[in-house]
Amino acid sequence: MRIVSAAEIAGALTHSAMTDALAEAFRAEVTVPLRHHHPIPQGPGARDAMLLLMPAWTGVGEDAFVGTKIVSVFPENGTRGLPAIYGSYILCNGATGAPLAVMDGTALTVWRTAAASALAARYLAAKDASRMVMVGAGALAPHLIRAHAAARPIRHVTLWNRSREKASQLAEGLKGTLPGITITVASDLQSAVEEADIVSCATISTNPLVSGDWLKPGAHLDLVGGYTPAMRETDDAAVLRASLFVDTRAGGLHEAGDIVDPIRRGLIQESDVKADLFDLARGTHRGRASDDEITLFKSVGTALEDLAAAMLVWRSLPV
């Protein structure tokens, strides 16, 4: 069994190839059971830890795969100087069940998450989209920028983060790595969004950051960060103005606060979500309908994406 590090994953993948692999996975027949959540008590006064299991498998045959992402969330790790979240991915042969590899689950997740946004942008962002705003400066941000730049002709990226210093650090880290793309840091998020063709958000905000009133005709809003019903990255105006899309209906209609909260309050209905990535990849929905249409894509992730990423890494590794 092979151990695959984050560095090996980065060496094996490109954002275009990862996006292509996701498109193929959403067109294929992949089994994705419900995600398992298992609380782990930590004793008096401590928050419970959580073990998450995310399995998926392809069809039968010698080229079949079975995979499971294992994520541990230990909220008290900050007091120990350790990360709160650890992840590993176990990839097995789908014909025999024999383990093939254990991969860095954290690295795999950021690659597939960014690729899901890029896949959506292929159908939903304007074909000539050249100006992007990146809201948030965490680990996902550079991957989202590169993935969107691989999907659309991005020429200018504006970074915004609550901590301007962190946004500046990201800008410095990206310097020289994105030929032909200008990187700037914004103090005023509204002004930056008003000029943007693509607005990508990867934060843990529980309150809206981007207003729908700021979006220009033809803009595409990519919401990545919120992963619980209590989290919002955009406001009701955006949800009401935009054509709504999700990565999967199973996740988007139950876990995504930007969709679930407006439905719960009666502002929109489940039927207002026009399509998910299955529909877009399989051609049952065309995606963007006009140059002036405002589109909103909300993702919360799915084990299908993890399996597709792990399969691509495995097939791309040097022998």
What CATH number is given to the structural domain containing 11? 3.30.1780.10
236 shares a domain with 154: yes
Structure tokens given for 125: 């962002």
Q: Residue 272 sits in a domain of what CATH number?
A: 3.40.50.720
So what's the pLDDT on residue 61?
Answer: 81
For residue 266, what pLDDT is reported?
97
- Residue 130 is predicted with a pLDDT of 98
Residues 309 and 255 occupy one common structural domain: no
> Domain range for residue 26?
2-108+305-316
Q: Are residues 135 and 56 in the same domain?
A: no
pLDDT for position 316: 95
Q: Are residues 292 and 257 in the same domain?
A: yes
Residue type, 142: P
The pTM (predicted TM-score) of the whole model is 0.93
61 and 177 part of one domain: no
> CA neighbours within 13 Å on the CB side: how many for 221?
31
- Are residue 236 and residue 309 in the same domain, yes or no? no
Query: How many distinct structural domains can be found in the chain?
Result: 2
Same domain (yes/no): 237, 309: no
Residues 156 and 183 in one domain: yes
Q: pLDDT value at position 56?
A: 97
pLDDT in the model for residue 270? 96
Query: pLDDT (tens digit, 0 to 9) for every residue of the chain, 319 residues total?
Result: 999 999 999 999 999 999 999 999 999 989 999 888 899 999 888 888 999 999 999 988 888 999 999 999 888 887 888 888 899 999 999 999 999 999 999 999 999 999 999 999 999 999 999 999 999 999 899 999 999 999 999 999 999 999 999 999 999 999 889 999 999 999 899 999 999 999 999 998 989 999 999 999 999 999 999 888 989 999 999 999 999 999 999 999 999 999 999 999 999 999 999 999 999 999 999 999 999 999 999 999 999 999 999 999 999 998 7
CB-CB contact of 15 with 9 (8 Å)? no
Mind listing the pLDDT tens digit for each residue in 98-142? 999 999 999 999 999 999 999 999 999 999 999 999 999 998 999
Let me know: does 185 contact 167? Beta carbons within 8 Å.
yes
Shared domain for 26 and 93, answered yes or no, is yes
Write down the pLDDT at residue 141: 95
- 97 lies in the same domain as 139: no
pLDDT for the residue 75: 84
DSSP the chain: -EEE-HHHHHHH--HHHHHHHHHHHHHS--B-PPPEEEEE---TTSPPEEEEEEEEE--SSTT-EEEEEEEEE-GGGGGGTS-SEEEEEEEEETTT--EEEEEEHHHHHHHHHHHHHHHHHHHHS-TT--EEEEE--STHHHHHHHHHHHHS---EEEEE-SSHHHHHHHHHHHTTTSTT-EEEE-S-HHHHHHT-SEEEE----SS--B-GGGPPTT-EEEE-S--STT--SB-HHHHHHSEEEES-HHHHTTT-HHHHHHHHTTSS-GGGEEEEHHHHHHTSS----STT--EEEE----HHHHHHHHHHHHHHS--
Rounded Cα distance, 132 and 107, in Å: 23
103/120 same-domain check:
no
Q: Are residues 80 and 211 in the same domain?
A: no
